[in-house]
Amino acid sequence: MQIAEFTPAHASAEELEQWREVLNAMTEADMPGEPRWHGDRMRDYLSITMPNERRLAYVARDDAGRIVGHANLLVYGGEFADTGIFEIFVEPGHRGSGVGRGLLRAVARRASREGLRAIGVEVIATTPAVGFYDRLGFGRAVVENRHLLRLADVDWETVTDSAGRLAAGYRLEYFTGGLPDHLMERYAATKVHLKAEPAYNVGTWRGSADARRLRDSLATLSARGLRPHLVVAIAEGKEAVVGLTELVVAAQRPTRGDQYDTVVAPEHRSYGLGMAMKARMLCELREAEPQLVDVQTWTSLDGDAMAHVDAELGFRNDVQWFEYEADVAELVRRLG
């Protein structure tokens, strides 16, 4: 087995296909009900990052030179420059042969050279990765419940009715791909309210709560092949943004919608805006993304302001996700 750095931007089409095959082999083995990865815009997905961020990749090759495992480490800039997020994927037939450990060693050593204090990884609770990271001394920083909504099971009459139930003085606006410039500042300011939610009390805040970062974030999503869908609640009169919900559909997994942030400004809660925005989002997706099979979202074990809304819309909890963290210096010593 050989482990080496990998540059997706310059990789061959065959190498990118092997990268995707590893992802799909792991999906088939560990979560067979999950959607498979498509090859559309895989290069963009792996190589494009936000300004001041870098994604560093490694591959493990067998004796024939074929990719049997890979890893990537996202290094943040600015105030988050001491932390990073990584992923490791190993073809099931090569588990137990040191591939995963070797890739993690490469990631940990690179994190150390980059001056990172800590690195984290997301793990599905029902997969063998849990035992792997437990044995290596990672700690669980966050536990979340993943919820799925199958669009074939949606009561569209009820959802359409919920999307139209707005208190007087409010309206909803829907955007796909991005936001008009006149809403950027107000939208970003509304996202600041997420900091007070229980689901965001653990870990490091990395939200796009300023207009420049928000603009960069939306542009980066589109450049990576992820289509953003946004529903915004407007308080008429002052034309203030008082609520928002975000969802992304990736070209690489086009049958799955990925729910991002949902927030309502505190002084505008109890008016049903959360339900109306999420219901409106589903109605728009029905037209804009007809290939969608389901939508996923997450809630914190410590409480989530939108949990009751998700339940009423038909989301059902299916599995827990763990966010593991490790001190980089300790991890490097542990791995040798």
Q: Per-residue DSSP letters for 291-302?
A: T--EEEEEEETT
- Check whether residue 14 and residue 106 sit in a common domain: yes
> Both tokens of residue 7?
């540059």
Is 83 in a helix, a strand, or coil?
strand
> Both tokens of residue 278?
């999420």
CB 215 within 8 A of CB 222: no
With respect to residue 78, please indicate whether it lies within any of the assigned structural domains: yes
With respect to residue 30, please indicate whether it lies within any of the assigned structural domains: yes
**The pLDDT value given to residue 20:** 98
DSSP 8-state class, residue 246: E
Dist. CA 119–CA 137, nearest whole Å = 12
Dist. CA 83–CA 121, nearest whole Å = 11
With respect to residue 166, please indicate whether it lies within any of the assigned structural domains: yes
Collect contacts of 138-142 with beta carbons under 8 A, ≥24 apart: 138/324, 138/325, 138/326, 139/324, 139/325, 139/326, 140/322, 140/323, 140/324, 141/202, 141/203, 141/323, 141/324, 141/325, 142/202, 142/203, 142/300, 142/322, 142/323
**The pLDDT value given to residue 113:** 97
pLDDT by 10s per residue, the chain, length 336? 899 999 999 999 999 999 999 999 999 999 999 999 999 999 999 999 999 999 999 999 999 999 999 999 999 988 788 999 999 999 999 999 999 999 999 999 999 999 999 999 999 999 999 999 999 999 999 999 999 999 999 999 999 999 999 999 999 999 999 999 999 999 988 887 665 554 444 444 345 567 888 999 999 999 999 999 999 999 999 999 999 999 999 999 999 999 999 999 999 999 999 999 999 999 999 999 999 999 999 988 776 778 899 999 999 999 999 999 999 999 999 998
- Check whether residue 140 and residue 168 sit in a common domain: no
- Check whether residue 33 and residue 127 sit in a common domain: yes
**The pLDDT value given to residue 322:** 96
- Check whether residue 100 and residue 141 sit in a common domain: yes
Domain count, the chain: 2
With respect to residue 318, please indicate whether it lies within any of the assigned structural domains: no
CATH assignment of the domain containing 212: 3.40.630.30
Q: Which of 336, 327, 332, 323 is nearest to 108 (CA)?
A: 332
Q: Which of 146, 149, 147, 124 is nearest to 295 (CA)?
A: 149
- Check whether residue 115 and residue 236 sit in a common domain: no
- Check whether residue 330 and residue 240 sit in a common domain: no
- Check whether residue 80 and residue 177 sit in a common domain: no
Q: Which of 293, 177, 170 is nearest to 241 (CA)?
A: 170
With a CB cutoff of 8 Å and minimum separation 6, the contacts of 85 are 73, 74, 119, 120, 121, 122
239 φ, ψ (degrees, to nearest 5): 55, 40
> Both tokens of residue 64?
């024939």
How many helices (H) and strands (E) would you count in the chain? 10, 12
- Check whether residue 107 and residue 181 sit in a common domain: no
**The pLDDT value given to residue 196:** 53
- Check whether residue 130 and residue 212 sit in a common domain: no
Collect contacts of 37-42 with beta carbons under 8 A, ≥24 apart: 37/252, 37/253, 38/251, 38/252, 38/253, 38/254, 39/252, 40/225, 40/251, 40/252, 40/254, 41/224, 41/225, 41/251, 41/252, 42/8, 42/16, 42/252
- Check whether residue 52 and residue 109 sit in a common domain: yes
Range of the domain at 159: 155-313
**The pLDDT value given to residue 35:** 97
With respect to residue 248, please indicate whether it lies within any of the assigned structural domains: yes
